[in-house]
Amino acid sequence: MNNFDFCNPTRIIFGRETVSQLNDVVPADAKVMILFGGSSAEKTGTLDEVRASLGDRAVSEFGGIEPNPTYETLMKAVELIRSKDIDYLLAVGGGSVIDGTKFVAAAVPYEGEPWDILLTGGQHIKSALPFGTVLTLPATGSEMNSGSVVTRRATNDKLPFMHPLVFPKFSILDPTKVYTLPERQVANGVADAFVHVIEQYLTFPQNAMVQDRLAEGLLQTLVGIGPKILADQKNYDLSANLMWSASVALGGMVGTGVRHDWATHMIGHELTALYNIDHARTLAIVLPSLLNVQRKDKAEKLLQFGERVWNITEGTEEARIDQTIDATRNFFESLGISTRLSGYDLGEEVIDAVVKQLEKHGMVTLGEHGNITPDVSRRILVDAL
């Protein structure tokens, strides 16, 4: 296990009818801006719940943060907040709204061009507006961490940043919000959380027993929930366990003290930026092929993953690794998520375009060993055709 520095100060308020606790956790004298996405927050009644809970606080609203939130949209929020006397943000939505709110929180007091926050991975952030979240979509884990990904539409750049100042002060997780989500988003949420765990876990043996067991436990949980919740979306127990799994998946404990992969995400980001494929679906395209191409480097962990999560214990090592990769692919497919580029009407033309973008963004030594060069990324994409 490597040395580590772990802290996750976000307060999680979890359960039924918890939105009403906003009144207790948002400062009474806060001048609040609610940030949200499309029309669903209004239609489902969540925005009304939020407004009611905030009582007579001064509240502004900024809607229209899109999936894969864009710099262009978020900068409009930044301008608005700077022009008003806002001192507290409240993200109401899923990972895109929360990621966007993190960027806005850091950009408002940022000296210089806020796009530099993305170009420097957040390292020059000195302050940020405080914010909380009301989560409506379990998937990204953004509600319980300090990371964010923002896309610049003008250039098709999709870049991440992290900073301790953008941990949410609190996140309200009401599992009944899952009941009214489109099935597609529930499936995406399961796949997204699954790959978040894999990116931190499926590398090489690092003598991190607790992290491995937690990772395997989350994967087993997601495998158990996956197809069931698509058939029974208003099942509180399934929704609650999905929501908590997705938060814990990226809450820091799975990945502390170990080297991570994240190549699947970096390649996936380019697919989203270029072809607007849902984030989770890009992960389901890339991951099985990445595991196949990297099967030697990842052999020991693939065997452990196969045995502990999929109960694969028979056959040669090569055969067990094949079975493990197949099981992973089949899991995504069982969620209705295609794991091939062809499933999204994409073909060989994708490969050069994605590799070029990876090179542009300096993503030339990806993976836990830094050996996923553009050439290896190319082989992964070929394998995913």
Query: What residue ranges bind a copy of itself (CB under 8 A)?
Result: 1-16, 18, 207-210, 212-214, 216-218, 220-221, 224-225, 237, 240-241, 244-245, 248, 253, 256-257
Q: 218 or 350: whose CB is closer to a copy of itself?
A: 218
Report the nearest approach of a copy of itself to the CB of residue 246 (Å): 10
Q: Give buried/exposed letters for 193-204 (b at 16+ CB in 10 A, else e).
A: bbbbbbbbbbbe
CB of 275 to a copy of itself, least distance (A): 33
Least separation in angstroms between CB 303 and a copy of itself: 17
Smallest distance, Å, CB 9 to a copy of itself?
A: 4
CB 230 within 8 A of CB 183: yes
CA distances from 51 to 42, 47, 55, 177 (A): 11, 6, 7, 16
**Tokens 């060989």 label which residue?**
348
Nearer to a copy of itself among residue 25 and residue 385 (C-beta): 25
CB of 330 to a copy of itself, least distance (A): 21
Give the C-alpha separation, 29 to 19, whole Å. 19
What is the rounded distance in angstroms from the CA atom of residue 130 to the CA atom of residue 166? 8
CA neighbor of 239 nearest in space, from 180, 194, 280: 180
Q: 43 vs 126, which CB is nearer to a copy of itself?
A: 126
Of 309 and 380, which has the nearer Cβ to a copy of itself?
309
Quote the least distance from Cβ 10 to a copy of itself, whole Å: 7
CA distances (Å), origin 100, targets 4, 66, 206 = 28, 9, 34
For residues 8 and 156, which CB has a smaller minimum distance to a copy of itself in the complex?
8
Q: How far apart are the first and last CA of the chain?
A: 37
Q: Which is nearer to a copy of itself, 258 or 285 (CB)?
A: 258
CA gap 207, 204 in Å, rounded: 9
Cα four-point dihedral sign 158, 159, 160, 163: negative
Q: Min. distance of Cβ 206 from a copy of itself in angstroms?
A: 10
Question: Of 93 and 168, which CB lies nearer to a copy of itself in the complex structure?
Answer: 168
